[in-house]
Structures are given as structure tokens and as C-alpha cells.
Amino acid sequence: MGLKLPGTHLTRIDTRLLRGELRPNEPMQRHVSWRAGGHAANCYRPADLEDLALFLQAWPRHEPVYMIGLGSNLLVREGGVQGAVVLLHARLNELFIVEQDEQGGLVYAGAGVPCPKLARFAALHNLAGVEFLAGIPGTIGGALAMNAGCYGSETWEWVERVKTIDRSGHLSERPANDYRVGYRQIALRDSASSDCGQAWFAGGWFRLPAGKMETSRQVIKTLLTARIKSQPLGLPNAGSVFRNPDGEFAARLIEQCDLKGLRIGDAMVSTRHANFIVNCGQATATDIEAVIETVHNRVLARLNIALVTEVRIIGQDKEHQL
């Protein structure tokens, strides 16, 4: 049995072995934390990792593929995205202890596991180090891909090795030292060894030191309290929009340029935390991107500092709408 796919190319893929759900013309505002954006020409929710591999093998190689977790670091332009968006949250969700002794343990977490879930799981098993993940509103796949961090800690401090899946559906395991790790960025040291540079994290093994459950729980509680006080969690947002420049904080620079409260349509620079852009109601992706560009341009003009976006922006402008 074949399935005709919408879009520029009338392509067919064999779906007999696939167990996931394929939806055409899916509104991406349902899947991103900003609650704004265009449609995906095709949206696939795999049944599991094996099913994802089969989907990637079947999907036409000329059609792009995007992987997302909770959509907490993503903006989809109003014109939408061609190809396929794959939803990993609650699908690649394995989470278990591989080994543990009095010194610590090794935990495996799939790419679709929410970061706070790993933080709580480690605490429950008397393992320390990843309490900060309780403050990351994304999945392990995204945390690995961008070396997510907060409160002075980063994801790759604890990674021993990772599992990847490439555009052909081939699974590999790589040690952490195969990657160059930087602030909010990760890259293979030997990029030629990947499938034309297109591969995604399917999961990771985290080597954690021994801790105490109650101590870790208290650290998590303290971090979440600080997050609630400092971040505009009552309105849809995507977390920090810009990376912190060396020796500086993006929020301080934005506030220094009197940009708190800047509003275009229903998109606004938060009055609580200047590095957050919130959806005040009916903001469009175009509104949000306009605020991002305005903030970037004003900080550059006034302070001669070019802020780099931390959020990922994909898709086409509205005039090229699917």
C-alpha cells in the first residue's frame, strides 16, 4: 500500500511496515511552545525508534525532515514547512538505569524524554548532577543537540555516549569525545563521517555521581522556585531567545537598550525577563520574528554587539505559504 503525500512532489511511500501516525497539513502551533506558526506539509509521530528508522528509510531523500520534541526552542514561519516534521516527544521515551554502584550510575534517556523527567528520575535513584534539567522545558534530544543548560550547568558535562539516527534510518553509537562541545552548540569532530551532516540524537547515556534523593529534590525545588520568580511562565514563550555573549547576559543588554515591553502585534519582549519574547494572545510567527529582528538590530546599533539567536527558525514566509 502506498500513500500519496501533499506538496510540490506527488511522491508515494510504502506504509505497510509503518506503525506511526502521518498527518498532512498539520498546524505547528499545536506543537511549539510559542503557540504560533504555520503548517507542516506532513507531520509524523513514530511508534518507536524502530518505526522512526523505517520512516526515514521510506521517506523520499529529496524531501526535508525536521525532528522536534516539545517545540520549546522553535519558531515555524507562517508559510509553513515542506517535507516532514517528526514528533519525538513521548515516543523515544526509554528511561532506565544501565548500571549503578556506590560511586554513581549510568542512565539512558531517549530523545523524547522531557528534561525534567530525567532530573526527577536521577534524584529518585540517588544520582546527582542533572538537577538543572528540571528547569529546561524541552526534551533530551533537544538538550543534546544544543548543549542546553541553566544555572551554571550544561547537558554535555554528563554525557558518556550518544545514540544517533541518520537520514537513512541507520543507528549509531558515539562516545562524547567524538563531538566538539561549546556554549549552546555541538558538532561532530569528523563531520564527513555523518550522513551528509544530517543526523539526529536518538538518546544518550549519562554518567552521574552518587547523590542523595532528598538533597537533589531540594536543589530541584530551589531551581524551580527561582525560575518561577524570574521567568514569564504564565504566557507562551520559547525560553531564552538569544545566547549570552562572552562575559555578558543577553537579558541585561536588551534591558540596557530599553527594549522591555517592546511589542509588535501580540508578540512582546517580556517585562519580567528581557531575553524572553511572549505571546500575549494571538501573536503570529511573523510578529515574533519581527520582535527578534528589532531587538537584534537595536542592540547592535546601540552597543555594537550582535546577539545570536538561541531559538531555531524554520519554514517559509507567509507569501510563500504552502
Instruction: Tell me the catalytic residues.
Output: 184, 240, 310
Torsion angle in degrees (nearest 10) through CA of 53, 57, 61, 64: -30
Radius of gyration of the chain (CA): 20
Q: Would you call 220 helix, strand, or coil by DSSP? A: helix
Nearest of 204, 17, 185, 184 to residue 92 by alpha carbon: 204
DSSP 110: E
The three grid cell numbers given for residue 278, joined into one nine-digit string: 511572549
φ and ψ of 240, to 5 deg: -65, 130
Which amino acid, one-letter code, is at 141?
G
Burial of 246 (0-12, 13-18, 19+ CB in 10 A): exposed
Beta-strand pair 171-175/179-182: unpaired
Give the number of residues written for the chain.
322
Contacts of 140 (CB under 8 A, 6+ apart): 69, 109, 110, 111, 112, 113, 114, 115, 118, 201, 203, 204
CA distance 7 to 44: 15
Number of H helices, E strands in the chain: 6, 20
- The answer to whether 318 and 286 have CB atoms below 8 angstroms apart is yes
